[in-house]
Amino acid sequence: MRLGNDRREQKVESGIYALSCLPSGQRWVGSALNLATIRNRLWFTLRLGNDRHPGLQHAWNAHGEDGFDFEILERLKADDLGAGRDRRLKERLLQWAEELQATRI
């Protein structure tokens, strides 16, 4: 069965993403060890109404899923994925948050 092999062959990409509330103009940025799964995880917690970021949850409740945009801002290079990956993610998150004047999540 190839499904298992395909999953093992997929490369996990880490990086920085942004959520934007289109009606309000609010932005949030976060880092993820796996960019392929982060949007689904965020949407799941927001739909349940139990996201750990009150401002984000409030905006979601007010404007709904259609009021939000998800964007991958930066993918870390493969050589950034060693022991310093977490440090590199934190640095890039801080830079993006400042540049976009966004709330870190």
Q: Tell me the pLDDT tens digit for each residue of 34-74.
A: 999 999 999 999 999 999 999 999 999 999 999 999 999 99
Q: Residue 89, Cβ neighbours under 10 Å: how many?
A: 21
Q: Which domains are delineated in the chain?
A: 13-104 (3.40.1440.10)
pTM: 0.85
Instruction: Provide mean pLDDT across the span 85-96.
Output: 93
Contact 36, 12 (CB under 8 A): yes
- What is the rounded distance in angstroms from the CA atom of residue 34 to the CA atom of residue 14? 5
Listing DSSP states for 10-67 in one string gives SPP--EEEEEEETTT--EEEEEES-HHHHHHHHHHHHHHT--S-HHHHHHHHHH-GGG
